[in-house]
Amino acid sequence: METNAAERRFDPNRQHVLTGADRWEKWQPPRLLGGLGIKPGQSVLDLGCGPGFWTLPLAAIVSPTGVVWALDVSQALLDALAARQPPPHVRLLRSELPAINLPDAAADWVWGAFVVHEVEPPAELMHEIRHVLRPGGRVALLDWRPDASPGDGPPIHHRLAPELVIEHLHAGGFPHASQTWQNADGYLVEAQ
């Protein structure tokens, strides 16, 4: 079944599910992000930041000497993040993905959690990511397994297999991309 990007997007009226204690326990953002190698002082783009579930732990990692660009297509979700009073080194940015309104080479890292499956076309998103990364920059994309239960995530037919995400990354200029982790619900693909 063919759908457009707007039909795949998370409904901002359900934002409460994005910041709950159960979700925190399930995904453990400090642990997962801490294993990536992001360092204090670096610049990270959080694609599809929503109300800041991953943004705030990223801000703690990069410290005030770094910056986190918190990007979302939804102004309501950005407003929810702003209401959480993020530290000053978190910069809110509204952009209609796959377009990323940042200058070339602005980020050391691009983190995207549960967003790639929402973007059409995904190959264009990978090209945009390539442009905003500095030379030697890295990408980490967390998304829903298509072979997992649809309970927490989007419908199965919206999900992308990790092999397809890797294929899009290769086409977008990332020769080194691989799946580095998975659990019962999601998987992580990293690239440089």
The full set of domains in the chain, from first to last, is: 27-191 (3.40.50.150)
Higher pLDDT residue, 155 or 37? 37
- Helix (H) or strand (E) holding 67, with range, is strand 67-72
Question: What sign has the CA pseudo-torsion 120, 121, 126, 131?
Answer: negative
Q: Quick one: pLDDT at residue 2?
A: 44
pLDDT of residue 43 exceeding 70, the answer is yes
Model confidence at 1, in pLDDT bands (50, 70, 90)? very low
* Mean pLDDT of the region 124-136: 97
With beta carbons less than 8 A apart as the criterion, state whether 49 and 84 touch.
no
pTM of the model: 0.92
Tens of pLDDT along 149-160?
A: 877 788 899 999
Average pLDDT of the residues in 117-145:
96
Per-residue pLDDT averaged across 100-129, rounded? Answer: 96
Is a pLDDT exceeding 90 seen at residue 16?
A: no
Q: Is the pLDDT of residue 7 over 80?
A: no
Predicted confidence at residue 5, as pLDDT, reads: 59
Q: Please identify which residue in the block is written with the tokens 């294993």.
A: 35
pLDDT in the model for residue 71: 98
Alpha-carbon Rg for the chain in angstroms: 15
Q: What is the pLDDT of residues 90-114, one digit of tens each?
A: 999 999 999 999 999 999 999 999 9
pLDDT for residue 4? 57
The candidate with the shortest Cα–Cα distance to 102, out of 58, 132, 128, is 132
| pLDDT at res. 177 | 97
pLDDT computed for residue 6 by the predictor: 63
At residue 143, the pLDDT reads 96
In whole numbers, what is the pLDDT of the chain averaged over residues? 92
> How distant, in Å, are the alpha carbons of 52, 122, 128, 152 from that of 161?
25, 12, 21, 17
Q: Residue 75: how many CB atoms within 10 A of its CB? A: 12
Q: Retrieve residue 5's tokens.
A: 């990007």
For residue 72, what pLDDT is reported? 96
Torsion sign, CA atoms 36, 42, 46, 52: positive
Res 9: pLDDT? 66
